[in-house]
């Protein structure tokens, strides 16, 4: 009784030759699709009898099902279905968590080793160095101890090193913070001791942790008038993680409000019970400013190093760590390194991270050029192709070809990673607009571009911003690099609505003008406290800088004159504004601040003058600064109170 088209009239059928639409699934088919999405018994999960891989399968963290499954002789569909059965909603292209990959590996019976991205490739590159004889017991010899000085800011770390070295290289540090890791070597009783000075602020966690990884003994500085602080406790944790002995130096015992017993009690609470209290922690009481107790500290360090029996093979190819690196005008990339094993020689091919080259010069901590550097030696290296990262391992290579191959392979890997970008970068907000977006109930994304003078500071600023992230505010790093703020940075910031943060670097006039035209916010800092404070205030809606730096004049050094009474005088041409005697001044070289102070003398021909205006030439004398070079920029500025709308 059906119609001519075969359909049944009535029960949803269509007569008159009409066909059911192929786009609409039947109720039974929809029910089947729904059932297939429900968790099912794993007993019937794998119909495939694919063999289980033999041995350990190396898998990179962050792999997708498409990348992960074939290594276990499975398809991405197998992985997705298995995880969905266990309540994990994933797709074939999503990044899998470690636990998800481990769960699937257990299911198929495979033995898996998870490694960081690029780690497997790095292991293969390391094999090219062929340094199997480095650990030969017969080649081991005693070496100098490497001492890391740790502690809270202003507790006297740099003062101690200054006293030990009998120099004044650490005076005038911004905010009392040693902005870059330095390494120095001193002699005591005919033996060398190497010191690594790490910044004391909590924001420099990574820098301090890196110091602890290369050290033999930690000197923990604690001020007698201040006691154990949060950064002190953090330093203790790093030292314990590195499993190195701790020698405590209680400093500033000559202060009127010094309370040594209270400090010892605080140390005991942290598990560092002094020997005088029946514990096993060496505690030296001292006053670094006057030198009291410094010799006693050095003696104790010598004793501890002898107990530790520190050895290294000085005969093999050199290997060590990059403590700091920067681009120097005239010398190119300069890396401060600490030799761990072997002896580094002038002419050696070497690789440090993605940088490679032939060692052109080796300079010790006293500024002297030397031909080679053995274990525990801190030296500067010239001759690399580019600036390596602080914390990179460096190695002398068998030949230039190997060094180049390793460096270029790493560079390619790093470039691939960087091209992926920060997945969280989206249309961000300016720093001062964060609070209003939080109030609106939205997640505020602060897009930032960070430019710094050296890698150590770059790393520390990045870590500081990450620590300030919350459910309401997150930071997306559009770009991070060492060097001056450039027009390309402004273009990138404008395109991504990013805030540009400069640490110890400043934009020149052309870059500032472009930033103003593009509406790009540039914030420059020399002390990381201020950076943290600004971000926190922005998050609370309290960002209201009381002062801003206003550039009042710029002069370019054209020629340098030497005078017996004053020293170096900069013959300058005033490019913009007015140069005034006695004003605050910054000295910039290639966009990087290398000195701050004041103008002590200002002359037009032979006459002392109070000010010189744009377009005129003058002679400028600077307080306590003699390293003048043609092409340098002298920038005068003043602080003006401002009110934010």
Domain's final residue, options 359, 386, 416: 416
Q: How far apart are CA 554 and CA 635, in angstroms?
A: 5
Question: Which tens digits make up the pLDDT trace of 44-75?
Answer: 344 556 788 888 888 888 888 888 988 998 88
Residue 166 has which token pair? 């009998």
| Residue at token pair 């070496």 | 143
Residues 305 and 331 both lie in one domain: no
Is 125 inside a domain boundary? no
Question: Which tens digits make up the pLDDT trace of 160-210?
Answer: 877 887 643 444 334 333 334 467 888 877 788 998 865 433 333 444 444
Is 22 inside a domain boundary? no
- What CATH code is carried by the domain that includes residue 332? 2.40.30.10
Is 425 inside a domain boundary? no
Residues 153 and 301 both lie in one domain: yes
More confident residue, 542 or 50: 50
Residues 333 and 259 both lie in one domain: no
Is 569 inside a domain boundary? yes
Residues 447 and 370 both lie in one domain: no
Q: How far apart are CA 264 and CA 392, in angstroms?
A: 37
Residues 269 and 326 both lie in one domain: no
Number of domains, the chain: 5
Q: How far apart are CA 191 and CA 442, in angstroms?
A: 61
Contact residues for 586 (Cβ-Cβ < 8 A; gap 6+)? 506, 593, 595, 596, 634, 635, 636, 637
Single pTM value for the model: 0.54
- What CATH code is carried by the domain that includes residue 469? 3.40.50.10050
Is 360 inside a domain boundary? yes
Residues 538 and 565 both lie in one domain: no
Is 121 inside a domain boundary? no
Is 629 inside a domain boundary? yes
Residues 556 and 537 both lie in one domain: no
Residues 348 and 439 both lie in one domain: no
Residues 496 and 532 both lie in one domain: yes
Whether residue 215 contacts residue 145, with contact meaning beta carbons closer than 8 Å, is answered with: no
Is 453 inside a domain boundary? yes
Q: How far apart are CA 263 and CA 275, in angstroms?
A: 14
- What CATH code is carried by the domain that includes residue 214? 3.40.50.300
Domain's final residue, options 115, 132, 162: 115
Residues 396 and 379 both lie in one domain: yes
Range(s) of the domain holding residue 573 = 549-641
Whether residue 143 contacts residue 376, with contact meaning beta carbons closer than 8 Å, is answered with: yes
Residues 497 and 574 both lie in one domain: no
Question: Which tens digits make up the pLDDT trace of 389-435?
Answer: 877 889 999 899 989 988 888 887 776 655 444 443 444 445 555 55
Domain's final residue, options 309, 334, 364: 309
Instruction: Look at phi and psi of residue 587 and say left if phi exceeds 0, alpha if psi is from -120 to 50, else beta.
Output: beta
Residues 477 and 556 both lie in one domain: no
Question: Which tens digits make up the pLDDT trace of 488-525?
Answer: 788 778 877 788 999 888 888 888 888 888 888 898 88
């Amino acid at each position: 009784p059906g119609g001519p088209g075969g359909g049944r009239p009535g029960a949803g059928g269509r007569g008159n030759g009409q066909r059911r639409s192929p786009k609409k699934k039947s109720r039974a088919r929809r029910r089947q699709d729904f059932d297939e999405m429900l968790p099912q018994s794993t007993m019937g999960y794998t119909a495939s009898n694919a063999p289980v891989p033999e041995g350990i399968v190396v898998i990179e963290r962050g792999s997708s099902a498409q990348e992960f499954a074939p290594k276990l002789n499975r398809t991405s569909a197998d992985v997705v279905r298995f995880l969905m059965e266990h309540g994990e909603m994933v797709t074939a292209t999503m990044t899998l968590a470690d636990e998800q990959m481990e769960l699937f590996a257990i299911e198929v019976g495979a033995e898996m080793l998870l490694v960081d991205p690029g780690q497997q490739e790095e292991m293969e590159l390391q094999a090219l160095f062929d340094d199997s004889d480095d650990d030969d017991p017969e080649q081991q010899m005693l070496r100098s101890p490497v001492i890391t000085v740790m502690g809270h800011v202003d507790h006297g770390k740099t003062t101690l090193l200054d006293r030990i070295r009998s120099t004044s290289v650490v005076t005038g540090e911004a905010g009392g913070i040693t902005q870059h890791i330095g390494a120095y070597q001193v002699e005591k009783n005919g033996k060398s001791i190497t010191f690594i000075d790490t910044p004391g602020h909590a924001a420099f966690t990574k820098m301090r942790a890196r110091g602890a990884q290369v050290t033999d003994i930690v000197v923990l500085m604690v001020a007698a008038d201040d006691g154990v602080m949060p950064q002190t406790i953090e330093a203790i944790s790093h030292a314990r993680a590195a499993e190195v002995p701790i020698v405590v130096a209680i400093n500033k015992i000559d202060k009127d409000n010094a309370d040594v017993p209270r400090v010892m009690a605080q140390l005991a609470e942290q598990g560092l019970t002094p020997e005088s209290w029946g514990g096993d922690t060496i505690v030296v009481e001292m006053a670094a400013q006057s030198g009291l107790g410094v010799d006693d500290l050095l003696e104790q360090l010598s004793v501890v190093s002898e107990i530790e029996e520190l050895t290294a093979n000085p005969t093999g190819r050199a290997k060590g760590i990059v403590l700091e690196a920067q681009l120097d005008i005239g010398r190119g990339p300069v890396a401060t390194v600490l030799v761990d094993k072997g002896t580094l020689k002038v002419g050696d091919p070497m690789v440090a991270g993605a940088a490679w080259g032939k060692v052109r010069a080796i300079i010790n901590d006293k500024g002297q050029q030397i031909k080679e550097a053995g274990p525990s030696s801190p030296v500067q290296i010239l001759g690399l192709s580019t600036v390596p990262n602080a914390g990179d391992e460096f190695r002398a290579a068998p030949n230039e070809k190997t060094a180049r191959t390793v460096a270029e392979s790493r560079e390619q890997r790093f470039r691939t990673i960087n091209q992926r970008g920060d997945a969280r970068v989206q249309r961000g907000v300016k720093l001062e607009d964060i609070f209003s977006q939080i109030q609106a109930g939205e997640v505020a994304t602060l897009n930032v571009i960070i430019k710094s003078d050296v890698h150590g500071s770059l790393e520390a600023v990045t870590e500081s911003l990450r620590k300030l992230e919350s459910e309401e505010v997150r930071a997306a790093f559009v770009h991070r690099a060492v060097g001056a703020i450039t027009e390309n940075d402004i273009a990138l910031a404008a395109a991504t609505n990013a805030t540009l943060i400069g640490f110890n670097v400043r934009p020149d006039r052309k870059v500032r003008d472009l930033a103003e035209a593009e509406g790009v916010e540039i914030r420059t800092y020399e002390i990381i406290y201020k950076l943290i404070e600004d971000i926190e205030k922005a998050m609370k809606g309290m960002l209201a800088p009381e002062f801003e730096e206003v550039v009042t004049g710029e002069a370019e050094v054209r020629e340098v004159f030497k005078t017996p009474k004053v020293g170096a005088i900069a013959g300058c041409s005033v490019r913009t504004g007015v140069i005034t005697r006695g004003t605050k001044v910054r000295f910039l070289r290639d966009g990087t601040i290398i000195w701050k102070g004041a103008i002590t003398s200002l002359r037009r021909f032979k006459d002392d003058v109070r000010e010189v205006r744009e377009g005129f030439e003058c002679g400028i004398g600077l307080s306590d600064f003699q390293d003048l070079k043609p092409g340098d920029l002298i920038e005068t500025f003043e602080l003006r109170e401002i009110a934010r709308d």
